[in-house]
Structure 1
Amino acid sequence: MDAQIIARWQFGITTVYHFLFVPLTISLSMLVAVLQTIWYKTGNDNFLRLTKFFGKLFLINIAAGVVTGIVQEFQFGMNWSEYSRFVGDVFGAPLALEALLAFFLESTFIGLWIFGWDRLPKKLHLLTIYLTAIGTMLSAVFILAANSWMQNPVGAVFRNGRAELTDFGALLTNPVFLVTFPHQLSASYMVGGGLVAGLSGWHLARLHKARKEAPEGQDLHYTGTSVKAEHVERDITTWRWAAKFGAWVLLVASLFVCLSGDFQGKVMTQVQPMKMAAAEAHYETSDSPDFSVVTIGSIDGTEEVWSLKIPKLLSFLAHGNFDSQVQGVNDLVEQYEKDGFIRDDGTQTELQKQYAEVLKTVPVEARPNVMVAYWTFRIMMGLGFAGMGIAAWILWVLRKGRNPMPGRLWMTAMVALPLLPVFANSFGWIFTEMGRQPWIVAGVMPTWTAVSPSVSAGEALATMLLFTLIYGALAVVEVGLILKWNRAGLPEVEPVEIVEDEDAPLSFAY
């Protein structure tokens, strides 16, 4: 067993699991704020009920996200001490700001939002959920700035045997960060929109069927939820509005994902030409190359066996025109062996340039895992487009006041819709991180040099199994709570009145 491989598996498992909660936290906090704003402006309690329903799901999700996220930073010191030593001066700055600014902003104002329904004026209470949502986005800013530096290490120099930060502003103006942040933010709103649309469409179909089958004036019962006869139309109207709202959020976010993804691809080609080549199974450098719809490559990842392609499209995706040259995997491997890591335009960052002499003494297998990069990229796109298709179908079915029936196709789509963008996000990050290999810091630090020298393979395996079991148990609890709250349907609400007695105990609104 290799301690480095096990450590990578452990970090991959815990990171992918943690990231299941991150996009939903980012998007659902703001969507709940929007729902509460509509209630505040209109006084319509249907929107208060939606706020409470999706607000509870947001709280369940953020709790699981915080618990699983703490483990990530511990692993830097546990399994990746050499990485922490080498990049701590750079990587520590955005992580510290994430904790000091973003996390404290989230934790402070989410507490005020939970306990302040009957203590704070409505406008001030509404502000607390917006500040919570801003905190989640700030957290994404600093985390993505740190990760973008690993993809394109700017604003640092090699000094005293490690990377030292010389320009913090360069981290926030890194071209990789400037395209990654809007891309990830948009992708997160696909997740939030998918959850709102999927759950609402599921309830709408069930309730509509129960109304059609029950005698007029009778209370309805479906999936363990009871709805009084006089509230049936109210609930159908509410779920119908929410389903359309979620579908529109998903579709609009998808548009921004596609646009930002196009810019991201061009930046990726510039700073990590090998990642673009691997993503397209593009083995040989060529002018006006074709985009691969499906490619079957050799086992060793050195040549194409069979492919289906769109003429010249890869040239446009990489450089914005149909007549440019795109470097291939094999040529980039030869280039590294001869001249070291070089970006697409022949340049290097200051840190890459200064560290080049050290790398001449460090063995590096420059060829990435083409199969993983290629297929994760396509699975990401396929799941995203599937979610877009379902969202468009929801809007089509609900046109002109129509309501769906809970057929097998509809219910399967409603269950799948919250999951498709989540897994698209996950596969996107697997591509981002695996496509950077063999580098943990692109062009500077090979992954195999970053692992803790004192951690044995057995120790790494034991902790990997332990974390996997714990996270599995958390998954059961998380899914159980979400299903339980979803089955309960829209909560009944009372008029919100401010408690004047300062000594009265705080009430938990959920």
Structure 2
Amino acid sequence: MDVLDLARTQFAVTGSLHFLFVVLTLGLAPLVAIMQTVWTVRGNPVHERMTRFWGQIYVINYALGIVTGLVMEFQFGLNWSGLSHYAGDVFGAPLAIETLGAFFLESTFLGLWIFGWHRLPRGLHLACIWIVTLTAYASAFWIMVANSFLQNPAGTVDRGGHLELVDFGALLTNPMLTMALPHVIGAALLTGGSVVMGASAYNLFRRTAEQEFFTKSLRLGVAVAAVGVAVTVAFGFAQFGPVGQFQPGKFDDKPLAGAGLGFMILIGELLQFVIVLFLLPVIRWLPRWRWAHPIVMLVTPLPFLAAVLGWLAREAGRQPWLIHGKLTVADAMSPGLTSGMVTASLIAFTAVLGLLAVVDYVLIGRVVRRGPATVALGAGPAPEPERAAALSL
């Protein structure tokens, strides 16, 4: 491959790996917030344990996902300086807003939530996780604003060899954004719900002692996944309107984009059939149907696969443009790059992000297997004799 193909491959691989973390983070955040809300209102200890258990999985995924996001930011300056030169004034603005939200608001309130157990008032502690959730979705909004600008550079004009933003409102109401954002949100809810219901089915299949815990988790996961898949499929098909208007021929003669789109649609329809037409109607009896639990477990990885295929279809279908109709991928590439340089960074980035993904799923799998009894997040202070013994050591 030449240097351009290597650079494109690098971004596709690292982008796909990063998106695996993002879609689960967005999916788990509202689930954890809902669990804590129910506990705060009803006071049922099972919902507190659910909040801590699924919250620990959320924190693991969030912490490792942050590192993959830094690699993505680094790539823009490393390989695609032409994008910054031509459209940095437009493209950089939503990314900067997203970074401020993610690294200041979201991470600050997540820290308060993690370390605020048994220290903050219950209502204030609940507010922290809801702020984390809202800022996470605000970050997703700004990322999609930036991505939709690449799909359709609305509200901009070309002046002196670079793009300038002349209508901020047009940037926020971009037709390539308004249908794509709900599609991504639905995919996140589908992914989070599928992980919760898959892990719960696994423990119920093992006949764990935590029957009530995983019964409630399974039912919540199925309900959220059903909402997620319905929104995902509906807004997925709704995107064909703006895509046909602004990017006609997006999938013509582009095997990666057309294979990605076809398989994504197939997976989406399969998930809609299994979750909405099979699992949701029997949600009351599903925890007791041990024969159905392997089916639930098999569903779990499919939303991740569909998310990556959808991302590849959206990005690969825009080729050869980086900014559609304005800047080609070749013109956006940084000058002076060699095949050796890009190959070295491709191997390094893929190894680091791949390792982080493996570590993420190993840690999550360990938490799922051990169950809620060993969760460290939100654990109460040790009894006085144990604390004294610990201090003496």
TM-score, normalized by the shorter chain, greater than 0.5:
yes
SS at match of 1:491: helix
Aligned-residue CA RMSD (Å): 2.2
Distance 1:459 1:257 in 2: 39
Distance 1:88 1:398 in 2: 49
| Structure 1 residue 102: Cα displacement | 3.8
Q: Are residue 465 (structure 1) and residue 363 (structure 2) matched?
A: no
Q: How does 1:105-504 map to 2 (within 5 A)?
A: 105-207=105-207, 227=209, 235-275=210-250, 278=251, 329=252, 368-369=253-254, 371-392=255-276, 393-395=278-280, 398-400=283-285, 403-405=288-290, 410-411=293-294, 413-491=295-373
Is 1:78–1:452's contact at 8 Å kept on the other side of the alignment? yes
Q: 1:451-492 CA distances to partner (integer Å, 9 max, x unpaired)?
A: 111111110001101111112222221121011101111237
Higher deviation after alignment, 424-433 or 377-386: 377-386
Distance 1:241 1:180 in 2: 32
Task: In structure 2, give the amino acid aligned to 1:154.
Answer: A
Is 2:81–2:332's contact at 8 Å kept on the other side of the alignment? yes
Is 1:205–1:403's contact at 8 Å kept on the other side of the alignment? no
Q: 1:271-304 CA distances to partner (integer Å, 9 max, x unpaired)?
A: 11111xx2xxxxxxxxxxxxxxxxxxxxxxxxxx
Task: In structure 1, give the amino acid aligned to 2:225.
Answer: L
Is 2:27–2:189's contact at 8 Å kept on the other side of the alignment? yes
Is 1:40–1:122's contact at 8 Å kept on the other side of the alignment? yes
Q: 1:329-362 CA distances to partner (integer Å, 9 max, x unpaired)?
A: 5xxxxxxxxxxxxxxxxxxxxxxxxxxxxxxxxx
Distance 1:475 1:259 in 2: 30
Is 1:37–1:126's contact at 8 Å kept on the other side of the alignment? yes
Distance 2:306 2:46 in 1: 32
Distance of aligned partners of 1:136 and 1:20 in 2 relative to their CA distance in 1, 3 Å threshold: same
Distance 1:420 1:394 in 2: 16
| Structure 1 residue 386: Cα displacement | 2.8
Is 2:106–2:136's contact at 8 Å kept on the other side of the alignment? yes
Distance of aligned partners of 1:493 and 1:161 in 2 relative to their CA distance in 1, 3 Å threshold: closer
Distance of aligned partners of 1:94 and 1:489 in 2 relative to their CA distance in 1, 3 Å threshold: same
User: Which ranges of structure 1 fall in alignment gaps of 5 or more residues?
Assistant: 208-221, 228-234, 279-328, 330-367, 505-510
Residue number in structure 1 paired with 2:86: 86
Is 1:398–1:404's contact at 8 Å kept on the other side of the alignment? no
Is 2:95–2:146's contact at 8 Å kept on the other side of the alignment? yes
SS at match of 1:164: strand
Higher deviation after alignment, 103-112 or 469-478: 469-478
SS at match of 1:382: helix
Task: In structure 1, give the amino acid aligned to 2:199.
Answer: L
The alignment's TM-score, normalised by the length of structure 2, stands at 0.92
Task: In structure 2, give the amino acid aligned to 1:130.
Answer: W
Distance 2:356 2:287 in 1: 39
Distance 1:492 1:78 in 2: 43
Q: 1:385-419 CA distances to partner (integer Å, 9 max, x unpaired)?
A: 333344343345554476122x5x742x3333221
Aligned residues: 381
Higher deviation after alignment, 95-104 or 149-158: 95-104
Higher deviation after alignment, 43-52 or 380-389: 380-389
| Structure 1 residue 378: Cα displacement | 1.4
Distance of aligned partners of 1:402 and 1:250 in 2 relative to their CA distance in 1, 3 Å threshold: closer
| Structure 1 residue 99: Cα displacement | 1.3
SS at match of 2:157: strand
Is 2:39–2:47's contact at 8 Å kept on the other side of the alignment? yes
Distance 2:241 2:264 in 1: 18
Residue number in structure 2 paired with 1:72: 72
Distance of aligned partners of 1:456 and 1:496 in 2 relative to their CA distance in 1, 3 Å threshold: closer
Distance 1:462 1:240 in 2: 48
Q: 1:298-344 CA distances to partner (integer Å, 9 max, x unpaired)?
A: xxxxxxxxxxxxxxxxxxxxxxxxxxxxxxx5xxxxxxxxxxxxxxx
Distance 1:269 1:46 in 2: 49
Distance 2:48 2:192 in 1: 18
Distance 2:84 2:234 in 1: 35
User: Which is higher, the Rg of structure 1 or of structure 2?
Assistant: 1
Report sequence identity in percent: 41
Distance 1:493 1:189 in 2: 24
User: Which ranges of structure 2 fall in alignment gaps of 5 or more residues?
Assistant: 388-393
